[in-house]
């Protein structure tokens, strides 16, 4: 009986400490240190309603680039109020033929909603199975955390989508840029991708890689 009482007392004590440490929010302080869990908290006395609102997704991104697409993020600390809340947003603008190349978000799963146009989207599982879907206006698709995925404008006009992430800092790594937009020696890229020297140098030249 004493053991049971002791266990309940310990649990209640831990619970009270846990709830006592919970805050309503932790608005990002970009001047403070950053940890894997997010940015440090802004002084609550300096927090305003503007920290919880963001207008950056209203304007279309510039699609005059090699991928004919633009991603406008609403991540922490740009959108300071989402810090630590486990959510974030982004806007995808894709010109005709535009593509968000194969990429991963190591820190979050993603949900996409098509607002305009037609988007071919898909992801590849760890078993190398492809899940591919053509999405029209109003359609949505989920991309599991850490898996390679892409979005391609397969319609005749521009496409627009909004995406939501299960993290305020989902992270991003684009596969083609990771391979060909850095100074990783060409011979190592060739050995690990089975591409020829000419192919690797061509892709490095297109994406700005060296070495």
The annotated binding site for oxalate is made up of: 105, 110
Could you tell me which residues are annotated as the binding site for Mn(2+)? 103, 105, 110, 149
For the beta carbon of residue 173, count every other beta carbon within 10 angstroms. Answer: 13
Could you tell me which residues are annotated as the binding site? 103, 105, 110, 149
Sheet strand arrangement including 88-94: 69-74, 88-94, 159-165, 110-116, 140-143
Residue that is written with structure tokens 């404008």 in the block: 153
How big is the chain, counted in residues?
Answer: 211
Q: CB under 8 Å to 139, separation ≥6 — which residues?
A: 113, 114, 133
Alpha-helix residue ranges (DSSP H) falling in the chain: 2-21, 175-180, 186-193, 197-207
CA dihedral of 98, 101, 106, 109, whole degrees rounded to 10: 50
Nearest to 118 by CA among 151, 63, 159: 159
Q: Is the dihedral of CA 150, 154, 159, 160 positive or negative?
A: negative
* CA dist., res. 121 & res. 72, Å (int): 18
């Amino acid at each position: 009986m004493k053991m049971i009482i002791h266990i309940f007392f310990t649990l209640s004590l831990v619970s009270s400490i846990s709830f006592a440490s919970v805050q309503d929010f932790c608005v990002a302080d970009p001047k403070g240190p950053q940890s894997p869990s997010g940015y440090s908290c802004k002084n609550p006395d300096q927090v305003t309603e503007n920290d919880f609102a963001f207008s950056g997704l209203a304007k279309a991104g510039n699609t005059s680039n090699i991928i004919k697409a633009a991603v406008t993020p609403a991540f922490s600390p740009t959108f300071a109020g989402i810090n630590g809340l486990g959510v974030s947003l982004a806007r995808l603008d894709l010109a005709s033929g535009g593509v968000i190349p194969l990429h991963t978000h190591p820190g979050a799963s993603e949900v996409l909603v098509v607002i305009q146009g037609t988007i071919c989207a898909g992801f590849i599982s760890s078993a190398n199975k492809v899940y591919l879907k053509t999405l029209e206006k109003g359609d949505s698709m989920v991309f599991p955390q850490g898996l390679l995925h892409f979005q391609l404008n397969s319609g005749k006009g521009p496409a627009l989508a909004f995406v939501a992430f299960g993290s305020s800092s989902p992270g991003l790594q684009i596969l083609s840029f990771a391979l060909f937009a850095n100074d990783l020696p060409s011979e190592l890229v060739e050995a690990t991708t089975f591409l020829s020297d000419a192919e690797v140098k061509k892709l490095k030249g297109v994406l700005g890689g060296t070495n």
